[in-house]
Structure 1
Amino acid sequence: MTAEPPPPPADHADLADLRKDAPPHAAEDNPGPTTPSWIRELDMALTVYPQVLLTGNVRDQYLLPDDHAAGSSGTLAPYSLGGVIESMCAARGYGAIAFVDQVNDHIALLRLTATPEQVPRVIRDFVERDERWRRGGGQGADGADGADGSGEDDGEPDMMDRLRDTMVGVVQHPGPPIALVVPYAGRIGSPQAPAAGEVARLLAAAEELGHVARPVQGATAVTPYNTVFWVVERQEELPREFAVGSRALRVINVPQPPHDQRLAAARHVVGGLARYQAATGGPSLTDDETEVAAKALADSSHGMGSSEVMAIGRMALDRSIPVQRLDEAARLYRIGVLDNPWATAALRERIAGGEEFLNSRVIGQPHAVRRTLEIFMRSAAGLNGAQASSSPSRPRGTLFLSGPTGVGKTELAKGVAEMILGKDARPIRFDMSEFAEEHARDRLIGAPPGFVGHDAGGELTNAVRANPMSVLLFDEIDKANPRLFDLFLQILEDGRLTDGRGATVYFTECVLIFTSNLGVKAVVADDPANGAAGEGTGATEAAGDGAGGTGAGGTGAGGTRAGGTGATAPRTTKREFNRHDESALVRQGLREAFDDFFNDQIKRPELRNRFGDNFIPMDFMQEKWVPRILDKAIASVAARVQEVHGAALTLSDDAWEVLRVEATRRLDHGGRGVLTAVESALVNPLAKEVFRTPPRRGERIEVVAVEGDGDGEGYRLEVERWPG
């Protein structure tokens, strides 16, 4: 059915706002955005290319000067892509625009300057047939089912044939210029399977028509083509046979709006909300306050389209969110979570007392705990990334924990989750050693269309979509396939990912924790005064024979240097760090290994830079921390005995001392070695005892002595038991 727009002025002067040589109108105190470059490129393409492919942000609204705002040239109005094309074509003197309407399954016609007789006959026929069909309520003019009233199928062509016939009629039309818009070109065929039947004929005709098309008579000095506009969000959605590389086709990417365009949309929204707020008894805002609110909305809507910025305004009005808090409305729109835990007094209190809490969870890492809390204090204060003009959508916190096994990296992640999200919260853990294969990327974000598992989505994106506020633990990140680091770069920079189904998942409220033991094996200079590689490591070898003298054997760094002078000097070897090394030396080695991994091994220095100062080295477990870890482990065993059997478990001083010695002997394995000692020397023999003689409720059990060793027949317990 023909849609008649309001008649434009004869010279179309009001449409010149969208021309590349006309600056956009705006109020003098708030300069508007410059005309987007893709619109200027589109204006150029109309006289040079018979076909145009528009991709990218094509479903957005574009805030541009209002062509029909009578006498108000400074007014900005939202335009759809169809509206932009209409204005551009009208300014170039096009006679009409035909739109493929896939909702109503017909060709819709918008006449600009052309008379009905100047419209291609094939379009007129389709429009008239659709009009008869509509007036007949889905039947012919006399009430019969067929369009001719006969009740018979009149051979109505399907949509692909109608589109092909329309395209032929448009391209071969002598003038005035006619445009054809195909708004959902990605639905014509499959990008995975070869085109066949009507689709193949359509695509072949489109490619040929692009090469035989010629400019037609228009209202401007440089005559345009009868242009075919193809519109698709992602170029990979197009059928294989679509002639993307044709010289007759101009591919124009419509980008996400930059900051100045989002700011113009934010001013549009804030101005309306401020007027409504004042009219309904709310506080009136000064111009400066309005501008501050607009800038806050523009900053917090990073990565969104202009239509989403305007949707935030509607949501703020619906939820009664004041203008001064539109950044919170943007957060609500982005992740759909009403409550912001980062703004609550409860979280601030937990972070304030976090040092005591985390040190009770992760024993022996006071340095790592302090560094961790500094990062989350920054996030709670709203200053995350404040030193740079970076995306406000970045995750709330990022940690890279590096250190030897068993020192509490995973336990620290669990403590962070509980501190931020509340009691019993746990991080969502991904063992990155399971993602070493190249196809592992699909496991995280989902398989692309046409591949097995596409409908299931990705493990990572599904988890964050279900829990927008999460602590994500990526364990042993150095074992992941290097291709996965591109995903992490996008998360750390923009705070979002697009999954295999094309849906965007936001990580704005997430905390990301990466763990690694990179650098535990490092190249170090041995110190002769300290017995080379350190106590008990066995990492160094005796110096070899030298010219003119022999090297001394033994375990020290000794040995004579070449020439037989007998002088000793530091020697560089590759060995594992151990708990006897200085903490500063270990931290330096871990940091160097971290830099080397990202700079040289996977060649992603930009990702290393995104971590910034959030790299946290964790120290080796020292002997002074053994009693605290041991007491905590024994208390856990006693609590389990009480819970399961209702009995009280205690240890004598002698038994405790045996456990301490055994735990210290296994301290090279970190805190996990202490727990292993408790399991071997206490839990296992205790299990035998309670299995053979189950305790009664209220009974007291004291471990008087621990005998044996872990290398022979194992440990035995001497216990005394008292009834309750």
Structure 2
Amino acid sequence: MAVWQDNLKRLLNQKEVLIIHGNIRDTAYLTEEGNLVRGLTDLINRTGRELGYDKTVSWGSFFDHEGRGHSPMWSLERITPLNGDQPEIRETESQDRVSDVLHRWLEDEITSIDEKKIFIINYIDKITGYAPDGMYSEPTAELVTLIQKIIENISENNRLIMIALRDTMIPVEYYTNSPRVAVMEIPLPDRAERHLYYSTTLASASIPSDQIDLLSNITEGLYMKDLENILSDVLEEIDENQEVSSSMLRKIVNRYRIGTEEDPWSRIPLTGPPKGLLDSAENWFLERVVGQDHAVREIVNAIKKARSGVVGLSSGGQSKPKATFFFAGPTGVGKTFLAKKLAEYLFDTEEAFLRFDMSEFKEEHTVSKLIGSPPGYVGYEQGGQLTNAIKNRPFSVILFDEIEKAHPKIMDIFLQILDDGRLTDSRGQTVFFTESVIIFTSNIGTRTVDSRGNTTSEQRKLDEIINDSDLSDSERERRVREHFTRSVREFFMHEISRRELLNRIGSHIIAFNYLKKSDYQVNIIENKLKDISENFRDKFAGRGHRLHLSGELTGYFLEKYGDSISEFGGRGLVNALEDEIGNIVADQLLLAEERGMSDINFEVYVDGDVIRCRRS
């Protein structure tokens, strides 16, 4: 039996009033025998019968006299004898039926000691919702008072169960400092329940036990209704093909988890250029990302683990993100650029790259920007930026930039993502991160002031390593990486005291190198010039224009911006190149437009200590 069902029995024995919230809308719940009980009301009836209660009185259910689906029928109560007799429908016909039912319960029924009854109020949050300031309208205040009196006066032989979607959606007066009240959450089916369900229902299908284990693992975070649908699809697959593969199981589960059978991870080629994971992937990244060989190797190794399916072997969890990284290093050395290229490698487009600037999430209330505003607040209907983005594109590389600037409460969001691989937004919708890669970036290690405003020696220690002339280049790079890794660990362990988040990141702190070597700088300049040329071609293809950049430009820009790249990385170089080349090309483009010229070749070349542009 699920732990929460044990808790339900225990609390019904111990407390007169129980508030149940969470997974209350599921179509079925699993018993310890592996059978399904249809609906929460039937489960309460079953539990009440086991505990020796005589009747349940269920109010506010979605039914009418004929048992048809309906909006909550506050005029109707279903009285169910637990000895097997037929249920009775009782109707209150007055206009003020909610108040009348509560008054009747208070005055005539909940204090009775003739029978043992369980009174059930379904969707209590629809009758009396939570008021943030505690100020209720006069009719609602009357109802809150009535329910409080019921809680205070219910006899020890009777029980009151109030059911809500969330405990935060009902008045706190019901349970605050109330020894008669317990609050209990119904969770989604846990692994033990899922394994019991599939091992019972698939016993006659001759499915190997390892596939039942796989199915139990990868269905974490799903409702029982989803589990039933998955079972139906699995049995259909077996009927058609006499077997079901592990890859097919994953596809079937993804239909219900992320809404698609698509699996870009399985399409990553294992061998062959340009992207073969075993023999070509490192070169693919190194052709695009300059000077970060160590980071590239770490990335490729992580992709191999995700592609092979060995992620989560130590913990047994199959519902975590595919990979998690912490990119540390100075600004402008390619942290964001590598993340974008990772999205392109995995999902064939940089549009699968999602970036969230954590400097926009410094305040506690900004958590709502990620997961949505609570009910009743502005923006509730819009959902959260993060949850909406993952719902729309579950196969993504998600970058949280400058994580040290985020409010500490947002760290709890990250912990849930890394632990469970899912997040529930303010509207109760669950999104899954199981097909995504999570990357945190930070300039920790280069700071002079920490997140609490205290002076830190990070930059001084880094300068000592960089300026130590006795170190070889390889030794200097190794010590710089050690400095950044140590700084990140100290940030989590001592500065914000979040060791648990550091543990989830594990050994995937990747420190980026400075771009001081001249060959690094040459490669960066050449890549940027190539980008400018290709983008010009794409943008002006309709006019037939072409842009030729002289080979001398590399040396020109290296001499002019080499020191800047060493100190600040390649980020500022992009703007500098666009400004210098763009200014002189713009004049020639406008002249060509004025004269109605097309199919022009624009050549940018070095003339002494300046660059010029001519057309031909």
Query: Do both share a fold (TM > 0.5)?
Result: yes
Q: Equivalent residue of 1:110, what SS?
A: strand
Q: Which residue of 1 aligns with 2:410?
A: 484
- Give 1:83's aligned residue: 42
Written as runs of structure 1 = structure 2, the 5 A alignment for 1:8-27 is none
1:584 deviation in Å? Answer: 0.7
Instruction: Note if contact 2:268-2:346 (Cα within 8 Å) is conserved in structure 1.
Output: no
Do the aligned partners of residues 182 and 667 (structure 1) sit closer, same or farther apart at CA in structure 2, a change above 3 Å counting?
Answer: same
Deviations 1:541-561 (Å, cap 9, x if unpaired)? xxxxxxxxxxxxxxxxxxxxx
Whether 1:665 and 2:563 are equivalent positions in the alignment is yes
**Residue 484 of structure 1: SS of its match in structure 2?**
helix
Q: Distance in 1 between matches of 2:119 and 2:399?
A: 51
Q: Which residue of structure 2 aligns with residue 178 of structure 1? A: 117
1:329 is the counterpart of 2:329: no
Q: Residues 464 and 505 of structure 1 are in contact (CA less than 8 Å); yes or no, is this contact kept in structure 2?
A: yes
| Aligned positions of 1:28-67 closer than 5 A | 35-60=1-26, 61-64=28-31
Superposed displacement of residue 675, structure 1 = 3.7
| Kept after mapping to 2: 8 A contact 1:170/1:180 | no
User: CA RMSD of the aligned region, Å?
Assistant: 3.4
Determine which of 423, 428, 436 is the counterpart of 1:502.
Answer: 428
Find the residue that maps to 2:53 and give its secondary structure. coil
**Aligned equivalents of 1:49, 1:654: Cα separation in 2:** 83
CA contact (8 A) 2:106 2:149 kept: no
* Corresponding position of 2:179: 247
Cα distance in 2, alignment partners of residues 101 and 525 from structure 1: 66
* Counterpart mapping for 1:109-120 below 5 A: 109-113=79-83
1:228 has 2:126 as partner: no
Residue aligning to 1:584? 478
1:619 maps to what in 2?
A: 513
Q: For the structure 1 residues 378 and 172, does the alpha-carbon distance in structure 2 shift closer, same or farther, using more than 3 Å as the test?
A: same
- 1:515 partnered with 2:425: no
Larger Rg over CA atoms: 1
Could you tell me whether the CA contact under 8 Å between 1:195 and 1:239 is conserved in 2? no
Q: TM-score, normalised by structure 1?
A: 0.72
Q: Which residue of 2 aligns with 1:316?
A: 234
- Matches for 1:483-562 after TM superposition, within 5 Å: 483-521=409-447, 522=458, 533=467
Q: For this pair of structures, how many residues does the alignment match?
A: 576
Distance 1:159 1:82 in 2: 20
Distance across 2 between alignment mates of 1:421 and 1:698: 35
Tell me the distance in 1 between the aligned counterparts of 2:150 and 2:614: 97
Flag the 1:81–1:716 CA change in 2: closer, same or farther, 3 A. closer
* Alpha-carbon distance between aligned partners in 2 of 1:474 and 1:37, rounded to the nearest angstrom: 36
Q: Which letter does structure 2 place at the counterpart of 1:600? A: H
1:303 matched to 2:221? The reply is yes
CA-to-partner distance for each residue in 1:102-148, whole Å, 9 max, x for gaps? 433201111234999xx9xxxx8x72x57xxxxxxxxxxxxxxxxxx
Once the two structures are TM-superposed, the CA of residue 699 in structure 1 deviates from its matched residue by 4.2
Give the unaligned 5+ runs of structure 1. 1-34, 66-73, 131-153, 216-224, 275-284, 536-569, 571-576, 709-714
Would the aligned equivalents of 1:347 and 1:420 in 2 still touch at CA under 8 Å?
no
Shift of 1:654: 5.0
Q: 1:462: how far off?
A: 0.8
* 2:267 counterpart letter in structure 1: T
Per-residue CA shift, 1:510-545, capped at 9, x if unaligned?
1222222211353666999x9x9358xxxxxxxxxx
**Given that residues 268 and 276 in structure 2 are in contact (C-alpha distance below 8 angstroms), is that contact kept between their aligned partners in structure 1?**
no
Q: Aligned-pair distance for 1:658?
A: 2.4
How far is 1:155 from its partner?
4.3
Question: How does 1:223-372 map onto structure 2 within 5 Å?
Answer: 225-271=157-203, 274=205, 285=206, 289-317=207-235, 323-325=244-246, 326-344=249-267, 346=269, 350-352=275-277, 353-372=280-299
Is residue 464 of structure 1 aligned with residue 390 of structure 2? Answer: yes
CA drift of 1:331 comes to: 2.7
Q: Which amino acid aligns with 2:308?
A: A
> Secondary structure in 1 aligned to 2:202?
helix
- Match of 2:583? 684
Counting aligned pairs with the same residue, the percent is 28
Considering fraction of residues, name the structure with more helix.
2
Q: How far does residue 661 in structure 1 lie from its aligned partner after superposition?
A: 1.6
- The alpha carbon displacement at 1:375 in A equals 0.7
User: Corresponding residue for 1:108?
Assistant: 78
Per mean C-alpha deviation after superposition, the further-off stretch among 414-423 and 43-52 is 43-52
1:601 aligned residue: 495
Question: Which runs of no fewer than 5 residues in structure 2 stay unpaired?
Answer: 65-72, 448-457
Tell me: CA distance 1:98–1:401, structure 2 relative to 1, closer, same or farther (3 Å).
same
- CA distance in 2 between counterparts of 1:507 and 1:692 reads 52
Amino acid of the structure 1 residue aligned with 2:123: Y
Aligned mate of 2:108, from 160, 166, 169: 169
Closer, same or farther in 2 for the Cα pair 1:698/1:249, shift >3 Å? closer
The CA distance in 1 between the partners of 2:501 and 2:13, in whole Å, is: 44
| Superposition map of 1:87-166 within 5 A | 87-103=46-62, 104=64, 105=73, 106-113=76-83, 127=90, 155=94, 157-166=96-105
Partner of 2:523: 628
Which whole-Å CA distance do the structure 2 matches of 1:667 and 1:333 have between them? 48
Match of 1:512, SS?
strand
Instruction: From the superposition, tell whether residues 81 and 698 of structure 1 become closer, same or farther in structure 2 (CA, over 3 Å).
Output: closer
Give 1:692 deviation, angstroms: 5.3
Q: What TM-score results when the alignment is normalised by the length of structure 2?
A: 0.84
Is 1:377–2:304 an aligned residue pair? yes
Q: Which has the higher contact order (CA 8 A, sep 6+)?
A: 2
Alpha-carbon distance in structure 2 between the residues aligned to 1:388 and 1:115: 49
In structure 1, the partner of 2:146 is 205
Q: Secondary structure at the match of 1:586?
A: helix
